[in-house]
């Protein structure tokens, strides 16, 4: 039987210089997101959709970059792995909080960081905070999309396993990870003893020793068909939750807010809509994603879902406040496009 599920074989490096150093797709995702946001802000400034002058778009994006990086990293440490705050090593950058090359950025933390950056930038440039968070909400969607795609390329933030009924003949849209051997099987030998025993047949094909299982993973990523044909049918098929979230947080969210801003609205309406829609999309899509290791569920909700419920509540509160305020209406894509 041909295994129709997708075997994850993507290289996390776009350009690799050494074994551990190079330009990663994850870094390119951030760069691409900020470039698209910069171009969009400049266009909205020229079309008078935004009060941010086109020549100030670069300054605004720089402030947002700092907010995302600082807030995203600190948020990850606070929400998911507090040990990073007080772990120090003998290797650069010596403090685990700063070791962003190892991964670990929280989208909720990034949003808090951006909000703080907008407060400071808005006061210095005499631009309404509500308008800035409207702009930030709209322009965040490309970055969210690219970031989730990078998660998929990196083979991180796995989805949940498909049901047992689907495992013998998984659908083509499901995904299998070679690293399941080292990250799951070897960690649970009692449960996956049979699979590990079957791998011994590859001893005559690839080198054995202490690195035998890691070599199997490497050979699968390298495209060794003999190894792939032996191992792939035994691997678990998972939901591609990263791609589910990429679509929900990127194109879907951008299109929804584009429609909301088709005509001018009170300042803050777009931001409140973002909080509501993003929060709902995270709650829904997180149902297909595995909870983070070591982070317990609270009332059956993952940490991401729990934080998203606070976003939904904040969105409702902000919507009530901004809907009744007498402020200058901004936005209006219809006029910008057709005039």
* 107 Cβ contact list (under 8 Å, min separation 6): 72, 144, 147
Q: In the predicted model, is pLDDT for residue 2 greater than 70?
A: no
| Neighbour tally for 139: CB within 10 Å | 25
227 pLDDT above the threshold of 70: yes
CB 144 within 8 A of CB 250: yes
For the cut 70, the answer to whether the pLDDT of residue 103 exceeds it is: no
- For the chain, the average pLDDT equals 90
The SS3 of residue 262 is coil
Q: What percent of the chain has pLDDT over 90?
A: 67
Strands 22-24 and 13-16: what pairing? antiparallel
* Lowest mean pLDDT segment, chosen from 103-107, 186-190, 219-223: 103-107
Phi-psi region of 21 (alpha: psi -120 to 50; beta: other; left: phi over 0): beta
Concatenating the DSSP letter of every residue in 81-97 gives: -GGGGG-B-SSTTSBGG
Tell me: the pLDDT tens digits for 213-226? 999 999 999 899 99
| pLDDT at residue number 13 | 85
Pairing assessment for the beta strands 13-16 and 6-7 based on DSSP bridges: unpaired
State the pairing for strand pair 175-176/6-7: parallel
Q: CA-based angle 105:110:116, to the nearest 5?
A: 150
> 197: burial class by Cβ within 10 Å (0-12, 13-18, 19+)?
exposed
Q: Has residue 296 got a pLDDT over 60?
A: yes
pLDDT category, 14, cuts 50, 70, 90?
confident
Give the mean pLDDT of 92-120.
84
pLDDT confidence tier of residue 22, bands split at 50, 70 and 90:
confident
Q: pLDDT value at position 87?
A: 87
pLDDT at 173 over 60: yes
Statement: residue 278 has pLDDT above 70? yes
Q: Is the pLDDT of residue 1 over 80?
A: no
Given a cut of 60, is residue 263 above it in pLDDT?
Answer: yes
State mean pLDDT over 233-259: 96
Q: Which residue in this structure is represented by tokens 């995302």?
A: 68
Average pLDDT over residues 163-178: 94
Poorest-confidence range of 2-6, 144-148, 184-188, 316-320?
2-6
The pTM assigned to this predicted structure is 0.87
pLDDT tens digits along 298-332: 777 887 888 899 999 999 999 999 998 888 899 99
- Decide which of 58 and 205 is more confident: 58
Looking at mean pLDDT, say which of 68-82, 157-171, 288-302 comes out highest.
Answer: 157-171
The residue with greater pLDDT, 158 or 209, is 158
């Amino acid at each position: 039987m041909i295994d129709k599920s997708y075997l994850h074989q993507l290289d996390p490096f776009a350009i690799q210089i050494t074994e551990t150093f190079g330009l990663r797709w994850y870094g390119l995702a951030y760069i691409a997101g900020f470039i698209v946001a910069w171009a969009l802000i400049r266009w909205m400034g020229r079309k008078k959709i935004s009060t941010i002058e086109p020549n100030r778009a670069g300054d605004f994006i720089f402030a947002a970059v700092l907010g995302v990086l600082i807030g995203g990293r600190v948020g990850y440490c606070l929400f998911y792995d507090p040990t990073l705050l007080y772990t120090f090593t003998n290797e650069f950058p010596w403090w685990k909080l700063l070791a962003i090359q190892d991964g670990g950025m929280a989208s909720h933390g990034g949003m808090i960081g951006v909000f703080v950056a907008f407060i400071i930038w808005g006061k210095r440039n005499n631009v309404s905070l509500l308008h800035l968070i409207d702009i930030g909400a709209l322009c965040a969607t490309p970055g969210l999309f690219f970031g989730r795609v990078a998660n998929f390329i990196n083979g991180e933030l796995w989805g949940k396993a498909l049901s047992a009924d689907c495992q013998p003949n998984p659908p083509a849209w499901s995904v299998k990870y070679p690293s399941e051997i080292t990250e799951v099987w070897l960690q649970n030998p009692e449960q996956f003893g049979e699979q590990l025993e079957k791998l011994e047949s590859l001893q005559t094909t690839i080198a054995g020793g202490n690195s035998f299982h890691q070599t199997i993973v490497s050979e699968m990523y390298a495209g060794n068909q003999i190894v792939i044909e032996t191992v792939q049918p035994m691997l678990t098929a998972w939901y591609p939750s990263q791609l589910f979230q990429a679509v929900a947080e990127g194109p879907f969210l951008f299109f929804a807010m584009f429609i909301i801003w088709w005509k001018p609205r009170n300042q803050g309406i777009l931001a409140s809509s973002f909080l509501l829609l993003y929060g709902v999309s995270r709650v829904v899509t997180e149902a297909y994603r595995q909870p983070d290791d070591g982070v317990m569920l609270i009332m059956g909700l993952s940490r991401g879902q729990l934080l998203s419920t606070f976003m939904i509540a904040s969105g409702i509160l902000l919507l009530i406040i901004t809907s009744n305020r007498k402020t200058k209406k901004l936005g209006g894509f219809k006029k910008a496009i057709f005039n």
